[in-house]
Amino acid sequence: MKIVNVKYQVYQFKELSKEVKEKVKATWYENEDYYMLSDGLKESCKMFLDENKIKYNDDLNLGYSLSYSQGDGLNFTGNFEWKKYLIKITHSWRYSFASSSDIVIMDEEGEEINDEKIEKQFKDLYLDICKKLENEGYGVIEYRMDDKEFQELCDSNEYNFLKDGKMVNL
């Protein structure tokens, strides 16, 4: 067995060249998993529902795909109360876009209503909320830190790099 000591020159983010800084940030975002996206979108959904006087239950669920592909979009499902109506929203399609959701509007006795005006009014409201949430999600995904923000991230987490931008743990 041999023991080999290797020395590396390590750099802070601010010490890297402009080109390498861009490479480091690109790599960072390629591997970003946006683990807080679901929680943030769900909280925003609750806020939009509250603003529109739509009561929701614990079964509120979001489904989304935000990768700029066919069928991408956002929907929410669950049981709701709006005005004097009970509303059940389900989604069982492969794609996540909101217009593929099934919306059933019932009266207080649980009987399905046949009122095109009310159905259109709620569906328009639903699609509007979904679109706002989708835009918010894309905004989170598309956001990119500038060099100063990224430097603060690196400093606070003690990230170091090789000259080519590869991150090293010390």
Q: Where are the domains of the chain?
A: 37-137
Residue 41's pLDDT band (cuts 50, 70, 90): very high
Q: What's the half-sphere exposure (Cβ side, CA atoms, 13 Å) at 12?
A: 13
**Per-residue CA distances from 30 to 4, 23, 142, 161 (Å):** 33, 10, 11, 17
Give 59-81 pLDDT, tens digit per residue: 999 998 887 777 788 999 999 99
Q: Is the pLDDT of residue 119 over 90?
A: yes
**Per-residue CA distances from 85 to 79, 94, 109, 137 (Å):** 11, 28, 9, 29
Q: Is the pLDDT of residue 101 over 90?
A: yes
Structure tokens at 110: 């649980």
Give pLDDT, residue 37.
85
Distance of CA 22 to the CA centre of its chain: 24
Give pLDDT, residue 140.
87
Residue 34, phi-psi category: left (phi > 0), alpha (psi -120 to 50), beta (remainder): left
